[in-house]
Amino acid sequence: MPDLNSTYKPPAVKCNGFDPRAFRWAQTMRLAVEEINQNPELLSNYTLGYKIFDSCAYPLTGQRAALAVLNGLSEDDSPTCRDASPLLAVIGESGSAQSIVVSRILQPFRIPMISYFSSCACFNDRRTYPTFFRVIPNDDYQVKAIAQLLVYFNWTWVGLVRGDHEYGRFAVQGLLRELQSTKVCVAYQVMIPLLYNRHKALEIMQVMRSSSAKVVVVFSAEGEMTPFLRDYMTQNITGIQWVASEAWVTSSVFTGSEYYPYLGGTIGFGIKKGYISRLGDYLQTINPVMYPSNTLVQELWEALYGCSPSPSSGSQLPLCSGHETLLKQHSAYMNTSNTRVSYNVYKAVYAIAYSLHNLLLCQPGSGPFQNNSCAQINSIKPWELQYYIQDVIFNIDGEEVNFDLKGDSVPYYDIINWQRGTAGNIELVNVGLFDGTKPAREELVIQEDKIMWAGHQSEVPMSVCSASCPPGSRKAVRRGEPVCCFDCVPCDSGKISNQTNSVDCTFCPDNFWSNKDRTACSPKEVEFLAYDSLGIALTVISVVGACLTIAVLGVFFYNKNTAIVRVNNSELSFFILFALILCFLCSLVFIGEPTSWSCMLRHTAFSITFSLCISCILGKTLVVLAAFTATRPGDNIMKWLGPKQQRTIIFSGTIIQVVICATWLIAAPPFPSRNTQYEHSKIILECSVGSSLAFWGVLGYIGLQACLCFVLAFLARKLPGNFNEAKFITFSMLIFCAVWLAFIPAYISSPGKYADAVESFAILASSFGLLICLFAPKCYIILLKPEKNTKQQLMGKEKK
């Protein structure tokens, strides 16, 4: 750029380098104009003229070119705005930044402008750019297509690189807007300076190298990408999956074999390709022989073949021999089989031609302007031509071309993939399309099996901040980081997630619980004291206890006339044994699935049978105590403890418990319940006591009976006699009380079926305690020591 200090007239801008691709666009325009001028059916008797200016792909240079076009003079020596311009329309610009400048300059003159490569969404503003048209899709569609591409391949963590111009800025803003409704996050945003700065570029590359984002979306033009990618290759950065915008995805500059290790696998959206039948032959005519004085043709030859066509050109390159071949990086110049930007140039020229043609066909009195007038043929105004451009519709090679109210054309893209060619260079392969005219979710069509990814891989690369959370877990966003960066937290018990990347875990329905992997709800395990290992053990113990008691009862019945049976009140002994049989058997009621009847029977049967047993023992204790204390002659204490009185004691002690149980069953009977609170993963089938007061009342009454029996037996423990039954009653009551005192905390703290097992065990333990303490000594004497089974021996009056 020249020094613009406003103290002297600035010199002409000197462009650096030569772009054969842009030169081909200009030649395409020339070809289209020649075809139109030779077509007798289009603009017959009229000839199109043109003038081509070079903007060097830079806004300020484009501004100077626009002013020169308006003045109708050469760019170098034109005074600003000397006279009115004969210009009717402009084809251009290529870059959006240049088009913004040129369009604003042309706007006061109402000169229409048709761009072939400016896709910035900013041109949608018809107030700011009322004369702007384009034959390339709006970037709003491109960013929509790129957003859908990122979602399609599940790339949720991407980097953004843009050029320092309106095209890059608006494209990134549009993409961020599209990504708001998706799960895609942006890892970083960086900008390539418009005036390339290597130090800044290296900083950008360091960001790319250090980031975990392996997919990079680039909205930039070929001009700034060329030096950037050259420096990128020197840094030996690989593994990046590039997503290219239409501005550079079809550029032939990057198709050399040296680019493949770094850019191979690039995917992006390119302009729809077309075919211009005469373009190949026409480009062949552009050579130094045909145009010996044209400096641009001289530069073209130097760029294409790396040699100077003329010794007078002043070039440092060797003189051409005529046997040179096209350089690899510019080999696409002559390839006209799938033109894209050149095809857009071709359509833009024909759009102006057809618009002029329609304007010339206007009939006076039916025109679109004031008083139904038509444009004056000899003084056509640019704004009159714009009217016809807005309404033009024509076909080229079967494709319909027209403009909407915003000056945009049909949104259609080819999906381009950079793959290795047979010669090691990069070939642009079509792997899909995006048709913006289709309904939502039908716009993107991808042939995934044809794609070759970065690193020459056939599998889709991953680019995520955090790996997907598998079913059974949920995402927990990390504080201060984007939503795409998260930790995977296993679902809590009772919750599940059956999808990948679940945001939250859902509760299982009632009566269901999460499985081990937290991926599905399964019916809760139903728990009760069943006939499994524990239930069978208790059943066996209960039956064994009942059988032993029956055996003892048989022994006593068989030896009912012996001294030890008679002395110990055989009737009470039989009552006690009968009650113990019931005690052993009532523990069986606690095993099995609870029902209404079993719940009511459990505690009432056990409490009544134990009250009966303790009442019998209490009666026996009173008889023993009375028998050994009635020592004076004529003492009538025993007449108050005869058989009838003993039965009355037993009946009275038992009937009180029966009344308590009957009241309990009437007022608030026990009932089966499903306990889901103690252990949420299980349904514990248990018997709810109905009334806690009644439950602890029956236990308290049994305890009161046992304590009274224990006190009386303790008082009679030292009475005379070799066989003092009070001692055994004391021991039995001591064991009984110890068992039930231990039962209370164990019962309260035991979960589920173990509470029933504890109660059942307490019943069996206390029953065995009573059976052993009260009847084992007697059975020992009856069965093993029959010589001691005499009244004298039992009363301690053995003969000397």
Per-residue exposure over 110-143, b if at least 16 CB sit within 10 Å of its own CB, e if not: ebbbbbbbbbbbbbbeeeebebbbbbbbbbbbbb
Which value, to the nearest 10 degrees, does the dihedral of the CA atoms of residues 500, 503, 508, 514 take?
Answer: 50
Residue reference for tokens 């239409």? 246
Cβ contact 117:409 at 8 Å: no
E strands, 143-254, are 157-163, 185-192, 215-219, 241-244
Least confident among 30-44, 208-222, 331-345, 383-397: 331-345
In 3D space, the residue among 616, 705, 697 whose CA is nearest the CA of residue 661 turns out to be 697
pLDDT at 20 over 90: no
Q: Is 452 helix (H, G, I), strand (E, B) or coil?
A: coil
Query: How does residue 461 score in pLDDT terms, banded at 50, 70 and 90?
Result: very high
Hey, what long-range contacts does 735-743 have (CB within 8 A, 24 or more apart)?
A: 735/766, 735/769, 735/770, 735/773, 736/614, 736/706, 736/766, 736/769, 736/770, 737/703, 737/706, 737/707, 737/710, 739/765, 739/766, 739/769, 740/699, 740/702, 740/703, 740/706, 740/766
Residue 189 has φ and ψ, to the nearest 5°, of: -130, 125
In 3D space, the residue among 653, 660, 545 whose CA is nearest the CA of residue 604 turns out to be 660
Q: Amino acid identity, residue 254? A: F
Which value, to the nearest 10 degrees, does the dihedral of the CA atoms of residues 639, 640, 643, 647 take?
Answer: 170
Measured CA distances, 760 to 603, 753, 757 (Å)? 11, 11, 5
Residue reference for tokens 């790996």? 467
Average pLDDT, integer, range 72-76: 53
pLDDT at 718 over 60: yes
* pLDDT for the residue 766: 85
User: 733 vs 163, which has greater pLDDT?
Assistant: 163
Least confident among 10-14, 162-166, 620-624: 10-14
Distance (Å, rounded) from C-alpha 243 to C-alpha 355? 37
Helices assigned H by DSSP within 180-216 = 198-210
Q: Is 101 helix (H, G, I), strand (E, B) or coil?
A: helix
Average pLDDT, integer, range 760-778: 85
Hey, what long-range contacts does 722-726 have (CB within 8 A, 24 or more apart)?
A: 722/788, 722/793, 722/794, 722/795, 722/796, 722/798, 723/564, 723/567, 723/777, 723/781, 723/793, 723/794, 724/624, 725/568, 725/620, 725/624, 725/774, 726/621, 726/624, 726/625
Average pLDDT, integer, range 163-189: 91
* pLDDT for the residue 80: 44
pLDDT at 634 over 60: no
pLDDT at 640 over 70: no
In 3D space, the residue among 767, 704, 736 whose CA is nearest the CA of residue 577 turns out to be 767
Which value, to the nearest 10 degrees, does the dihedral of the CA atoms of residues 571, 572, 574, 575 take?
Answer: 120
Tokens of 576: 């006690």
Tokens of 422: 């047979």
Measured CA distances, 172 to 188, 274, 541 (Å)? 12, 28, 81
Cβ contact 393:402 at 8 Å: yes
For the CA atoms of the chain, what is the radius of gyration?
52
Rounded to the nearest angstrom, the gap between the alpha carbon of residue 542 and the centroid of all alpha carbons in its chain is 57
pLDDT at 81 over 50: no
* pLDDT for the residue 432: 93
Cβ contact 356:290 at 8 Å: no
Least confident among 303-317, 444-458, 551-565, 593-607: 303-317
Distance (Å, rounded) from C-alpha 413 to C-alpha 438? 12
157-163 and 185-192 beta bridge pairing: parallel
Burial class (CB in 10 A: 0-12, 13-18, 19+), 199: exposed
Query: How does residue 792 score in pLDDT terms, banded at 50, 70 and 90?
Result: low
pLDDT at 359 over 50: yes
Query: How does residue 796 score in pLDDT terms, banded at 50, 70 and 90?
Result: low
Quick count: other Cβ atoms within 10 Å of Cβ 566? 14
Rounded to the nearest angstrom, the gap between the alpha carbon of residue 147 and the centroid of all alpha carbons in its chain is 18
Running DSSP on this structure, what letter comes out for residue 79? P
Rounded to the nearest angstrom, the gap between the alpha carbon of residue 18 and the centroid of all alpha carbons in its chain is 50
In 3D space, the residue among 271, 373, 334 whose CA is nearest the CA of residue 27 turns out to be 334
Query: How does residue 716 score in pLDDT terms, banded at 50, 70 and 90?
Result: low
Q: Is 561 helix (H, G, I), strand (E, B) or coil?
A: coil
* pLDDT for the residue 29: 95
| Span 260-277, pLDDT tens digits | 999 999 999 998 888 898
pLDDT at 147 over 90: yes
Distance (Å, rounded) from C-alpha 671 to C-alpha 653? 27
Looking from the CA of 471 toward its CB, the CA atoms found within 13 Å total 12
pLDDT at 492 over 50: yes
Distance (Å, rounded) from C-alpha 656 to C-alpha 52? 121
| Span 208-226, pLDDT tens digits | 999 999 999 999 988 888 8
pLDDT at 1 over 70: no
Cβ contact 254:328 at 8 Å: no
Least confident among 130-144, 177-191, 556-570, 598-612: 556-570
* pLDDT for the residue 415: 94
Residues above pLDDT 70, as percent of the chain: 89
Residues above pLDDT 90, as percent of the chain: 29
Which residues, other chains included, contact 610 with Cβ-Cβ below 8 Å and sequence gap of 6+? 579, 583, 702, 763, 766
Query: How does residue 472 score in pLDDT terms, banded at 50, 70 and 90?
Result: very high
Query: How does residue 695 score in pLDDT terms, banded at 50, 70 and 90?
Result: confident
pTM listed for this prediction: 0.63
Tokens of 495: 């919750």
* pLDDT for the residue 114: 95
Distance (Å, rounded) from C-alpha 330 to C-alpha 436? 32
Q: Amino acid identity, residue 705? A: Q
| Span 299-358, pLDDT tens digits | 888 888 888 887 776 677 888 876 666 666 566 677 787 788 899 999 999 999 999 999
Q: Is 114 helix (H, G, I), strand (E, B) or coil?
A: strand
* pLDDT for the residue 722: 47
Q: Is 18 helix (H, G, I), strand (E, B) or coil?
A: coil
* pLDDT for the residue 183: 86
Measured CA distances, 513 to 15, 471, 503, 560 (Å)? 74, 16, 20, 61
| Span 510-565, pLDDT tens digits | 888 899 899 999 998 888 888 888 888 889 999 999 999 899 888 888 887 777 77
Least confident among 294-308, 433-447, 560-574: 560-574
* pLDDT for the residue 115: 94
Average pLDDT, integer, range 403-432: 90
* pLDDT for the residue 111: 92
Distance (Å, rounded) from C-alpha 710 to C-alpha 702? 12
Average pLDDT, integer, range 388-396: 92
Per-residue exposure over 475-511, b if at least 16 CB sit within 10 Å of its own CB, e if not: beeeeeeeebbbebeebeebbbbeeebbeebeebeee
